[in-house]
Amino acid sequence: NFQMVKEICENVSIPVEVAGGLRDIKKISSALSFAQRAVIGTIAMELKESDQEQILSNLISQFGRERLVVSIDHIDGEVVTHGWQRNTGKKLLEATNEFVRYGFSEFLNTNVSKDGTLEGPDITSLANICKIGGVNVIASGGISKLEDIQKVKEYNTYGVILGKALYEGLVSVE
């Protein structure tokens, strides 16, 4: 859907964050040629340890840390990649702190076991990540009502993703 996303970005007057399938530097660069920010997940998590520092540092110097959002998807604290199909063996806080050490500050936190369930957000994981200094965290997964958004805001989150709750009319943009 890359071309369709590009057309949307070119035809709206709001900042757009692009996510999904940005698994190499060429795709990230292409996305950032028309979008405000790019969400990286699998590429960031699956680098060989020997390559990690150089590649991640290059990404930040090339695009700027404010334009790259690291998606740390997890199932109850275990980080997963490849569209939530592969367990990396890394823990959520360990991974987040590692990316902070590399210079990243923007994070998307999704407990995928909550995503689309409308059962409320994973406040425990969110609270722990938001305690890390110098990070902007976008909360995702399970949000079903205005009270969930207010609860998430209590932890100084940077933003929130509304999916199913918005589509089903449980929460409005207003």
d(C-alpha 39, C-alpha 70), whole Å: 6
Q: What DSSP assignment string belongs to 62-101?
A: HH-GGGEEEEEEEETTEEEETTTTEEEEEEHHHHHHHHHH
pTM: 0.89
C-alpha span between 22 and 169 (Å, rounded): 30
Residue 76: its pLDDT value, please? 82
What φ, ψ does residue 90 adopt, rounded to 5°? -95, 150
pLDDT in tens, 111-126: 988 887 788 899 999 9
Crossing angle of helices 25-32 and 2-10, rounded to 10°: 30
**Secondary structure letter of residue 104 according to DSSP:** -
Residue 51: phi, psi to the nearest 5?
A: -95, -15
Q: What would the pLDDT profile of 130-170 be if each residue is shown by its tens digit?
A: 999 899 999 999 999 999 999 999 999 999 999 899 999 99
Percent of the chain residues past pLDDT 70, beyond the cut? 98
Mean pLDDT (whole number) for 67-86? 86
Say which amino acid occupies 95: A
pLDDT confidence of residue 10: 94
